[in-house]
Amino acid sequence: MLPPFISQTGRACTIPDSVNAPVQERQPSQVHSGLKAKERGQFLNPDPIKGERQEARLQGKAYTLPQGNPLAIGWQILLADFRIIFERDPAARNWLEVLCCYPGLHALVLHRIAHGLHLRQLPFLPRLISHFSRWLTGIEIHPGAVIGRGVFIDHGMGVVIGETAIVGDYTLIYQGVTLGGTGKESGKRHPTVGEHVVVGAGVKVLGNIQIGNHVRIGAGSIVLRNVPDHCTVVGVPGRIIRRSGEGVCPLDHGQLPDTEATVIRVLLNRIERLEQQLQTLQMISGNNHASTL
């Protein structure tokens, strides 16, 4: 018998209203109780089971964990992780295939268990679960990392997410992505990625930087600086080549500009203009020489 949230076709998923509801703007007073933020040189490790509201500031951003039964909240988050796969991946045929054959989902489930234990400051076991997850899926997520709901790690092999990284809701991460540090910082040393972000294959986002909402990062890019909302970043190092107001489907990777081809085209045009100027100067010089004779 199919679970109640799966239709007979295996494609359509019906999630409780609290999960289907659009993401609401977060207020500074509502803070994710799972957030580990650097505040006065110390990390906050609140207990989410008590439902206490703890405030922490991280580059002006605040995160919220819904108040209520922790088991119900965890179930809703897992349903969102499951449902987003059918929306993002056309290869997802049915619920059984997704449950058994998607390492990104397995890694997220194990991470959420490890993260819950990590918040309780339980030693060793969270790291052991994380290590097992890496062995099973090829995806390494530190138990301290904060991962929003509806995140989809596609393929996933080689993904590394550091201890103080934060990944916003409904972000899409492809294989080979690193959300890491630069080795020069302590405390909050990993990136904060906003909501509805697409991080292409092989991308490296390094350091305590901010990636805005609805950002697209092209495959193979290395991002070392903050990126505002609604931007497209490509290249090494990453450069913003499209800003807010230029709407493009976030999954349409064919629309990502080829910056190297653009640079080569500009250089070739410049060479052509210089050759024309040189020919003109040679003609003038030849005419002057002939007139002197």
User: How far is the C-alpha of 64 from the C-alpha of 62, rounded, in Å?
Assistant: 7
Q: Which helix (H) or strand (E) holds 80?
A: helix 70-88
CATH 2.160.10.10 applies to domain 147-257:
yes
Q: CA 33, 37, 39, 42: dihedral to nearest 10 degrees?
A: 90
* Domain spans, the chain: 147-257
User: How far is the C-alpha of 108 from the C-alpha of 106, rounded, in Å?
Assistant: 5
pTM summary value? 0.64
User: How far is the C-alpha of 156 from the C-alpha of 58, rounded, in Å?
Assistant: 27
Does residue 114 contact residue 150 with C-beta atoms inside 8 Å? no
Greatest alpha-carbon pair distance for the chain in Å reads: 102
Query: What amino acid is encoded at 108 in this protein?
Result: L
Averaged in consecutive runs of 10 residues, what is the pLDDT profile of the chain (293 residues)? 37 38 40 37 36 36 52 82 89 90 94 93 94 95 94 93 94 95 87 94 94 93 93 90 65 59 83 90 79 67
